[in-house]
C-alpha cells in the first residue's frame, strides 16, 4: 500500500479556510459557540481535540449546551449497536435546538457515518443534519464547514479510503495533566466481529520524529501522563520500514528529559513481544500497565474471531510480561455471546479470567455489525442466554478486581494527582503507575503532581488513600 500523506501545505490551506470562516462569523455573531459531543474510544477523543483545534482557529468558543451552540459536531462510534442508538437518539433530539435556533449547523462525523447504510439513514431520516463526514475527511473539516455555510446546502463526505496521515492539524486538548498522543491510525487485523478496519482504514504510522517532537512539546507544556494511541500499537512502524518498532518508540520517548509517565493502548496479543516487555521494564517512565484484550478463553472462538493466538499462548505471554514486571497491571476486553458460543466455550473464558486474574475487565455482549464476517455466522443462542453469561462474568470480574484492590491496602503508591472529583470527602482523583484509580483528600493545588499515598481502602472500582507522612516527592 502506498503511504498517503496530507502535505503541510494542504493543512495550511485548511487553516486559511479557518481564517475565512472567522471573518464570516464575526461579521454576524459577537461570540460564536461550538459544541463537540464525543462517543466511543480514545481515538475519537483525540479526533475531537482536532475538531476543537480547528473550531478554535475559526474563532468559536465552546459550550456544553446545545441550545446556545451555533455549530454542533457529533463525533460518533460504530463499535457496538448501543453506541449507534445513543447517537441517533441524541441527533434526533437536536430537532428542538434547531427549531429554537434555525441557523444552527449540525455536523455528524466519525466511524458510524463511514458505514454506507448509516450515512443513508442520516440523509433520509435526519433532515436537520447539515454535514456528514467520515474519519478520512476530518483533516478538511474547515473546507466542508465553509461550503455548508456559504452554499446553504447539505453535504455528505464519506468516500471510501484506506486513510492518510496528516500532520499539523491544530489541537485543543482537554485538561493539562493527561494527553492523548496518536501514534498510528487504522487497523489491519479484521477480527471477524469488528467494524473498525472497515471505517478507519489500513494501519498507518506517524513518523517517529513527528511523535517524539509532539511528546517533547507536551512535556514542556507540563503534561505528566502521555497515552500513546493506536488500534494496535504493537504493529507501530511496520508500514514505515524505518527499523523503528513500538518498543524503540517507547525508548525514544523515555529519553525525553522530564518527570512524566508513558502509557499506551491498545495492544494486540498476537504482536506483543518479549522486546516490548523488556523495554517496558527498563524504561523508568513507562507505566507497568498493559491493556491486552483477550476477547475469549476458548480456542475455537478465538479462531472464529480471527485473533491469531490460542488460550495457551495468551497465558504464556502474560506469564512472560509478569516475569519482566512483577507489579504489572493487566486489563482486558472480553466479548460474551460471539455467534455460536456454547456454555462450555463460555466456561473457558471464565476459567481463563480466574487463572489470569485481570486487574480490570471491560466486558461486552456481542453486537452484530453490518458487513463483518461474524454477522453472517449462525447465531443460535438467545439474548437471554448471553445476558446470563454476561452477568456471571461481571461477578467474576468484579470479585477479582476487588481482591486485587484489597491487596493494595497498607501499601505506599506513587500516584499522579490528575483532577477533582466534585465531592467533599475524597475530593481528588489520582492514578497509580499501573493506572488504578485512587481517591484522596487534599488541596487542589496538588493536581499535576506525583505524590506518595498510603492506600487505606479499596473496592471493585477504586482505591482510597491519604498522602503519606513525610512525602517529599514534589514531582
Ligand atoms: N460486539 C461487541 N464488542 C465488540 N468489540 C469490538 N467489536 C465488538 C462487537 N461487534 C469490543 C472488543 C474490543 C473493544 C474495543 O470493543 O472487545 O476490544
Ligand atoms: Fe477491531 Fe481487532 Fe482491529 Fe481491535 S485489532 S480494532 S478488535 S479489528
Please state at what angle helix 42-57 crosses helix 141-151, rounded to 10 degrees.
50
pLDDT recorded at residue 120: 97
pLDDT recorded at residue 26: 86
In the 8-state DSSP scheme, what is residue 259? S
Q: The pTM is what?
A: 0.96
Residue 338 and residue 65: Cα distance in Å, rounded? 39
Q: How far is CA 23 from CA 18, 53, 99, 104, in A?
A: 9, 17, 26, 18
Pocket test for ligand 2, best of 185, 190, 191 (most atoms within 8 A of CB): 191
DSSP string, 53-92: HHHHHTT-EE-S-GGG-SEEEEEE--SSHHHHHHHHHHHH
Q: How far is the CA of 365 from the centre of ligand 1 (A)?
A: 8
Q: How far is the CA of 374 from the centre of ligand 1 (A)?
A: 12
Confirm if 123 and 89 have CB atoms less than 8 A apart: no
Pocket test for ligand 1, best of 194, 234, 372 (most atoms within 8 A of CB): 194
How would residue 22 be classed by pLDDT, with cut points 50, 70 and 90? Answer: very high
Residue 203 and residue 184: Cα distance in Å, rounded? 7
Query: For the chain, what is the total number of helices (H) and then of strands (E)?
Result: 13, 21
* Window from 23-32, 379-388, 446-455 with minimum mean pLDDT: 23-32
Atom of ligand 1 nearest to the CA of 295: 17
Residue 197 Cβ inside 6 Å of ligand 2? The answer reads: yes
Question: What is the per-residue pLDDT across 139-153, written as a single tens digit (0 to 9) for each?
Answer: 999 999 999 999 989
Atom of ligand 2 nearest to the CA of 194: 1
State the average pLDDT over residues 118-134: 97
Neighbours of 448 (CB within 10 A): 18
Question: What is the per-residue pLDDT across 49-82, written as a single tens digit (0 to 9) for each?
Answer: 999 999 999 999 999 999 999 999 999 999 999 9
Q: What are phi and psi of 73, to 5 degrees?
A: -115, 125
Confirm if 359 and 404 have CB atoms less than 8 A apart: yes
Confirm if 197 and 160 have CB atoms less than 8 A apart: no
Residue 274 and residue 317: Cα distance in Å, rounded? 8
Q: How far is CA 40 from CA 46, 47, 305, 367, in A?
A: 11, 11, 21, 15
Which DSSP helix (H) or strand (E) runs through 24? helix 8-28
- With a pLDDT cut of 70, the percent of the chain lying above it is 98
* Window from 35-39, 189-193, 220-224, 466-470 with minimum mean pLDDT: 466-470
pLDDT at 473 over 70: no
Residue 422 and residue 145: Cα distance in Å, rounded? 36
Residue 362 Cβ inside 6 Å of ligand 2? The answer reads: no
Residue 187 Cβ inside 6 Å of ligand 2? The answer reads: yes
pLDDT at 88 over 70: yes
pLDDT at 322 over 50: yes
Amino acid at each position: 500500500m502506498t503511504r498517503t500523506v496530507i502535505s503541510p501545505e494542504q493543512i495550511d490551506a485548511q487553516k486559511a479556510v479557518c481564517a475565512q470562516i472567522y471573518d464570516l462569523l464575526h461579521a454576524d455573531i459577537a461570540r460564536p459557540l461550538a459544541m463537540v459531543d464525543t462517543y466511543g474510544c480514545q481515538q475519537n477523543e483525540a479526533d475531537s481535540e482536532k475538531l476543537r483545534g480547528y473550531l478554535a482557529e475559526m474563532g468559536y468558543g465552546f459550550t456544553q449546551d446545545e441550545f446556545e451552540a451555533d455549530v454542533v459536531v457529533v463525533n460518533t462510534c460504530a463499535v457496538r449497536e448501543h453506541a449507534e442508538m445513543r447517537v441517533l437518539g441524541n441527533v434526533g433530539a437536536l430537532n428542538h435546538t434547531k427549531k429554537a435556533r434555525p441557523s444552527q449547523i449540525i455536523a455528524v462525523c466519525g466511524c458510524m457515518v463511514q458505514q454506507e447504510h448509516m450515512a443513508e439513514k442520516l440523509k433520509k431520516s435526519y433532515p436537520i443534519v447539515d454535514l456528514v463526514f467520515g474519519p478520512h475527511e476530518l483533516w478538511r473539516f474547515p473546507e466542508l464547514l465553509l461550503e455548508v455555510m456559504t452554499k446553504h446546502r447539505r453535504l455528505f463526505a464519506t468516500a471510501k479510503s484506506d486513510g492518510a496521515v496528516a500532520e499539523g492539524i491544530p489541537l485543543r486538548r482537554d485538561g493539562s495533566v493527561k494527553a492523548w498522543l496518536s501514534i498510528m491510525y487504522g487497523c489491519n487485523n479484521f477480527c471477524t466481529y469488528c467494524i473498525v478496519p472497515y471505517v478507519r482504514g489500513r494501519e498507518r504510522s506517524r513518523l517517529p520524529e513527528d511523535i517524539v517532537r509532539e511528546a517533547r512539546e507536551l512535556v514542556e507544556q507540563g503534561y505528566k501522563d502521555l497515552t500513546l494511541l493506536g488500534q494496535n500499537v504493537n504493529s507501530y512502524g511496520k508500514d514505515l520500514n524505518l527499523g523503528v518498532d513500538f518498543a524503540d518508540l517507547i525508548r525514544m520517548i523515555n529519553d525525553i528529559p522530564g518527570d512524566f509517565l508513558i502509557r499506551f493502548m491498545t495492544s494486540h496479543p498476537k504482536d506483543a513481544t518479549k522486546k516490548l516487555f523488556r523495554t517496558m521494564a527498563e524504561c523508568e517512565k513507562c507505566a507497568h500497565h498493559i491493556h491486552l484484550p483477550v476477547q475469549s478463553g476458548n480456542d475455537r472462538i478465538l479462531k472464529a474471531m480471527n485473533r491469531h493466538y490460542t488460550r495457551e499462548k495468551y497465558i504464556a505471554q502474560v506469564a512472560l510480561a509478569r516475569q519482566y514486571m512483577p507489579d504489572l497491571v493487566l486489563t482486558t476486553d472480553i466479548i460474551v455471546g460471539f455467534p455460536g458460543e456454547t456454555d462450555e466455550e463460555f466456561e473457558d473464558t471464565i476459567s481463563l479470567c480466574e487463572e489470569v486474574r485481570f486487574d480490570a475487565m471491560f466486558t461486552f455482549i456481542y453486537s452484530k455489525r453490518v458487513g463483518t464476517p461474524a454477522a453472517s455466522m449462525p447465531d443460535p443462542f438467545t439474548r437471554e442466554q448471553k445476558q446470563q453469561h454476561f452477568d456471571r462474568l461481571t461477578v467474576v470480574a468484579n470479585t477479582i478486581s476487588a481482591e486485587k484492590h484489597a491487596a493494595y491496602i497498607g501499601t505506599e503508591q506513587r500516584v499522579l494527582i490528575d483532577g477533582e472529583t466534585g465531592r467533599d470527602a475524597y475530593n481528588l482523583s489520582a492514578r497509580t503507575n499501573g493506572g488504578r484509580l485512587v481517591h484522596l483528600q487534599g488541596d487542589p493545588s496538588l493536581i499535576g503532581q506525583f505524590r506518595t499515598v498510603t492506600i487505606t481502602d479499596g473496592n471493585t472500582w477504586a482505591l482510597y488513600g491519604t498522602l503519606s507522612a513525610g512525602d517529599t516527592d514534589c514531582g
